[in-house]
A and B are shown apart, each in its own frame.
Chain A
Amino acid sequence: EADIYQTPRYLVIGTGKKITLECSQTMGHDKMYWYQQDPGMELHLIHYSYGVNSTEKGDLSSESTVSRIRTEHFPLTLESARPSHTSQYLCASSEYGNMNTEAFFGQGTRLTVV
């Protein structure tokens, strides 16, 4: 069982609010990712990190930002939520430098902006 946790699982919030989605892993993985997924659709990489103080943008442009102050923690922030941000957000982690390893996923946060 993967040791990667996301909170909250579900969030309904009003337009214009600032939100932070939490992601923590206890596996000591350097590499962490955020994916955005509309229901039943493909996963789009929006952010990733190679380790502490490293953040990179993924393939899909996102208005969200991330930070990596500690190895185990990779929070995602939306400064001003909009209905277009409604989606599922999946956090993942993997070992860095070792291709022969899968990514471990959290349970996801389903965000609804009304």
Chain B
Amino acid sequence: AQKVTQAQTEISVVEKEDVTLDCVYETRDTTYYLFWYKQPPSGELVFLIRRNSFDEQNEISGRYSWNFQKSTSSFNFTITASQVVDSAVYFCALKGNNNNDMRFGAGTRLTVKP
């Protein structure tokens, strides 16, 4: 069975603070992919990053960084120097070997206040 847990339902920070969104996953597959999506108030899901299970290198893209730790089954997402435009719901997702579907976490609503 595959499962994605985002324990933080809502996070509120003040602009310029750093914030980390947690994602913990469960899977029996040896090969799998992890994803982060952003859902702004307009409703569409915007793809942010993809990481495969064999690549544990952390990645940085501008103010965004991702920390993948296979030992703890976690794929956390950090926003540095947050901005009001970062306010959205962020979803972590997992796709396993069966390729049937992408399993999403419950999402974390991030509010960045000016």
Contacts and interface: CB of A to CB of B under 8 A. Distances in A.
A85 interface: no
The 9 residue pairs across chains A and B that have the minimum distance between CB atoms: A105-B45, A42-B106, A108-B43, A107-B44, A43-B104, A102-B47, A45-B101, A102-B50, A103-B102
Given A100-B52, A102-B35, A42 B104 contact: yes
Interface in B93-114: 95, 97, 99-102, 104-107, 109
A99 interface: yes
Interface residues of B, number: 26
Given A40-B89, A108-B44, A99 B101 contact: no
B105 A97 contact: no
22 contacts: A40-B107, A42-B104, A43-B104, A43-B107, A45-B101, A48-B100, A58-B101, A59-B101, A88-B43, A94-B102, A100-B33, A100-B50, A102-B35, A102-B50, A103-B47, A103-B102, A105-B44, A105-B45, A107-B42, A107-B43, A107-B44, A108-B43
